[in-house]
Amino acid sequence: MDTRSMWDPWQDMRRLQREMQSVFGDVVPGGRWLLASEYPPINLTHDDNGITLEALCPGVDRATLETTVIGDAVTIRGERKREPGVIEEAYHRRERLLGAFTRTMGVGDRLDPDRSEATYANGILRIRLARAPEAAPKKIAIKS
């Protein structure tokens, strides 16, 4: 089936999001980020051994990060706290969002949470997701 001709219900939402960003981007502090995408931004790569999810979380304390895997979905929770000693009135401009966040992403393959692992270094949360044994790619011998 040719998926290029299928209707994408989110296409209109993304268009509306871009229009709202152009209207309110300079009015709402930090509004560009709120309207532009979800937080944290994620890169997702697949290979024969599994799936790697990298989430950009600068300024987030490792102790606040939590990852969970259910079925084919990964959830990241955390919190970016206010810088100690800086009062609200001191900000001239603030584009980095503060507070708690949650992001869930489906990866398309059933996952094995027992064999998955996560690391956090230099503001990047890297989660190595293991496919469930039944979801791992298998080579099929070709007979003549």
- Give the per-residue pLDDT at 45: 94
pLDDT in tens, 3-31: 455 666 777 777 787 777 666 655 555 44
Q: What is the pLDDT of residue 25?
A: 58
Q: What pLDDT does residue 34 have?
A: 47
User: Residue 5 has what pLDDT?
Assistant: 56
Predicted local distance difference test score (pLDDT) of residue 17:
74
What are φ and ψ of residue 135, in 5° steps? Answer: -100, -10
DSSP-assigned letter for residue 123 = T
- Give the integer Cα–Cα distance in Å for 79 and 57: 9
- Scored b (16 or more CB within 10 A) or e, 47-78 reads eeebbebebebeebeeeebebebeebebebeb
Sign of CA dihedral 42, 43, 47, 52: negative
14 alpha carbon, distance to own chain's centre: 17
Residues 27-68 pLDDT 10s: 555 444 444 457 899 999 998 888 999 999 998 999 999 999
For 38-83+97-134, the fitting CATH number among 3.40.50.920, 3.30.70.20, 2.60.40.790, 3.40.50.300 is 2.60.40.790
Q: Within the chain, which residue ranges are assigned CATH 2.60.40.790?
A: 38-83+97-134
In tens, the pLDDT along 77-135 reads: 999 888 788 787 777 777 777 888 999 999 888 999 999 999 999 999 999 999 988 87
Predicted local distance difference test score (pLDDT) of residue 7? 66
DSSP tally for the chain: helices H, then strands E? 2, 7
The helix (H) or strand (E) run that includes residue 11 is helix 11-24
Neighbouring C-beta atoms of residue 21, cutoff 10 Å: 17
For residues 137 and 19, give the distance between their C-alpha atoms in angstroms, rounded to a whole number.
41
